[in-house]
Chains A and B, each alone.
Chain A
Amino acid sequence: MQWNRKDLLELYDLAPEEIELILDTAAEFKKVSQRRVKKVPALRGKTVVNFFVEPSTRTRVSFELAEQRLSADIVNVQASASSLLKGESLLDTIKNIEALQVDLVVMRHSAPGAQAFIARHLNCGVINAGDGAHGHPTQALLDIFTIREKLGRIKGLNVTIIGDILHSRVARSNMWGLLKLGANVTFAGPSTLVPREFEEVGVRVTNNLEEAVAGADVVNMLRIQHERQTLGFFPSTGEYSRFYGLKEETLKRMKSNVLVMHPGPINRDVELASSVADGDNSVILEQVTNGLAVRMAVLYLVAGCVKK
């Protein structure tokens, strides 16, 4: 299997073998971060621009560290400081950045498809670090990497994702990746936030937490945003927590080795009880660790396909 894409836009586009290649590559890079000298020269002489048009801390830090550990030169551009505020179009801004002989652009944007749009017009590589509710492929890859590392496989596993599915790029990217690798995917949450249309691509949809977690090998809890409450999607975070928060007593009825995941940042005691977040089944911090390895793998593979 050879990697031959200059962009990573969405897992929907990838063949199962391509996803596995990223995971295998990440496993190698994970070893690098465990060494005393945590750096390899894989991207020496390459320039990466982290272009974040939407706020992000953990994803941006993760990408930056991944780039540093691959010895890339890095420039960070924040939307607030960029010329987008002066009315320049996104494409013009990015074309100007590319004209500085940049090799890769890592971009986050609030508009679905923004990366796919600019990638069509660029020679440099584009990595999607989140585009609205559409996709967040490296988050899904690090989730899948963590599951595979912990449970040894993906095929046949029952993976349940709970929360605001409607507005979640994490849920969508996980769905495509997990379905491609043969997992059974369940989406759960309030009926206002879990569209039934996902059934059309083979996802099980339920609004009942007990039903959602029965037989689950993995539960991935999504952050519930207070903003959705003010828009009328559910009555209160208290009621949300009562019906969809993962608590100790629910966990006790689940498989003893179930993995509890969360893409962060956590609303403690809203979608996830503190004791569960910090408990034996939680792999939340390992997800963060693995994120670094997965992003190193993606940067390395994609950079290899950018023509100079």
Chain B
Amino acid sequence: MKEILLKNARIVDPARQLDVKGDLGIADGKIAAPGKLAKPEVIDLAGKTVVPGFIDVHVHLRQPGNTNAETIKTGCMAAAAGGFTSIVAMPNTKPAADNAGAIELLRSIAAREGVVRVLPCGCMTNGGAGEEMAPIGSLKSAGVVALSDDGRCIQNHALMRHVVEYAKYFELPILDHCEDVALAAGGVMHEGKWSVLLGMNGISSASEELMIARNILLAKQIQWKIHMQHVSTRGGVELLREARKRGIMVTGEATPHHLTLTDECVKHFDTNYKMNPPLRSEDDRQAVIEGIVDGTLSVIATDHAPHTRTAKLVEFDNAPFGIIGLETAFALCYTELVASGRMPLIDLVARMTTGPAAVLGIADYSLAEGNVADLTVLDLDQKYEIDPATFFSQARNTPFGGRAVAGKVAMTLVGGKVVYAGK
């Protein structure tokens, strides 16, 4: 029985509202009382912080279909380096994960090659095309933890209603990319001052808010969980705040890039600032931060979207949407939100652990004894510049290269096994 003793750490555990100095034991892949360990390997974590392993409910692994950009293996390594012990794999692969066979393939490759837990997500509709309901029951039997047509949004409200109703029986939460396609048509960046000055087609805030409102109404009627992916506008945050106050089963996530960047970044036509939803205005950014601070948005998720250099090295209009985020998420959020004094560390950790766990219906996600030893060790004092050359991800499409940040992931353990031990 492998035993580890993590000594002298600061232990931050949101589920139990703990922020204490102490030791943490691991035995047989589970968290154990330090006193009960017989002959543990001792790791001195003086000056370091131990938290439950981060969960990312929004990751694109690109396998099958685009393994030039990322594979399950490299995506998992990137996750481990970012402190994530569980990641939800979006189903918009090629072909899409809209059937039990695709889920079984994902699970078998992940079991063989993945260093973190890969939680499969299935399509809501066949091919993610928004036309016919996918075999949701079979997907559940094959092991999906959620449903999503991410990258696309079901435009037919009646079909969406049926999907949510049907998914409720199978207890699968809906993760929805909220976008009215007609309103967003042809858009490549946020519609606002900068799209107007640059002469680019805009994606209006209303195109996102309209579908958030639709989902709130459906969640209320059906009484089932709809999670809004990458909320990026002030209006979206306000809709969610009001709905959650009224007890409707809706949640929302923010990405690190929407917390740190704005549409002005687009002015040099660098395609690493092209994502959907787009970078919004400074006012929207502040609203998203407020949402994360007050818990309206209970989840930070990366929308890790790998693309090859070739795919991104084109005219802005023609570039694919998305940037990678697993290996920069914690440092960006810690620097922007905690080091700046806007929220305590324990709340940021909650947005990356208990928040996403609640969306997926995982109970008691904490460092309590007996729980699986998925945990992350952080070196909060380390200041550095982000260097994409050091990434484990196969992709390099990040706008954050060279950005000064604080807070480094020092070690990641999955089931008591060290899967990442710093660089």
A residues lining the B interface (CB < 8 Å): 89-91, 109-114, 116-117, 131-135, 166-169, 172, 195, 197-198, 200-201
Contact = CB atoms under 8 A, between A and B. Distances in A.
A284 to B, nearest CB: 24
Contacts of B197: 172, 197-198, 201
Contacts of A198: 196-197
A91 B196 CA distance: 26
Interface stretch (B297-305, B311-319, B413-421): B311-319
A201 B283 CA distance: 18
B317 A134 contact: no
A134 B315 contact: no
B15 interface: no
B199 A132 contact: yes
20 contacts: A89-B310, A89-B313, A91-B314, A111-B317, A111-B318, A112-B269, A114-B315, A114-B317, A117-B269, A117-B315, A117-B316, A132-B199, A134-B200, A168-B199, A197-B192, A197-B193, A197-B196, A197-B197, A198-B196, A200-B193
A90 B200 contact: no
Contacts of A195: 196
Contacts of A133: 199-200
A112 B199 contact: yes
B313 A172 contact: no
Given A132-B200, A133-B199, A200-B193, A113 B269 contact: yes
A89 B308 CA distance: 14
Contacts of B318: 111
Given A197-B192, A197-B193, A110 B200 contact: no
B246 interface: no
Interface string B182-200: 0000000000110011111
A106 to B, nearest CB: 17
A196 B313 CA distance: 33
Contact of A112 (B193, B310, B313, B316): B316
A172 B199 contact: yes
Contacts of A132: 199-200, 317
Contact of B315 (A90, A166, A167, A200): A90
B421 to A, nearest CB: 38
A89 B314 CA distance: 7
B268 to A, nearest CB: 7
Given A90-B315, A134-B199, 18 more contacts: A89-B314, A90-B314, A111-B316, A111-B317, A112-B198, A112-B199, A113-B316, A114-B315, A114-B316, A116-B269, A132-B199, A132-B317, A167-B199, A168-B199, A195-B196, A197-B193, A198-B197, A200-B193
B305 to A, nearest CB: 20
B185 to A, nearest CB: 9
Interface string B305-337: 000001001111110000000000000000000
A195 B318 CA distance: 24
B317 A110 contact: yes
A129 to B, nearest CB: 15
B203 to A, nearest CB: 15
Which interface residue of B196, B199, B317, B318 has the most chain A CB atoms within 10 A?
B199
Nearest to A198: B196
B91 to A, nearest CB: 28
Contacts of A117: 269, 314-316
Contacts of B268: 113, 116
Nearest to B266: A113
A25 to B, nearest CB: 27
Contacts of B316: 111-114, 117
Nearest to B193: A197
Nearest to A199: B193
B116 to A, nearest CB: 34
A133 B189 CA distance: 14
Contacts of B269: 112-113, 116-117
Of A111, A112, A117, A166, chain B has the most CB atoms within 10 Å of the CB of A112
Nearest to B316: A113
Chain A to chain B: the 7 pairs with minimum beta-carbon distance, closest first: A113-B269, A133-B199, A111-B315, A134-B199, A111-B317, A197-B196, A195-B196
A198 B198 CA distance: 11
Contacts of A113: 198, 268-269, 315-316
Nearest to A176: B197
Contacts of B196: 166, 195, 197-198
Contacts of A89: 310, 313-314
A247 B367 CA distance: 77
B64 to A, nearest CB: 22
Nearest to A136: B199
Contacts of B198: 112-113, 134
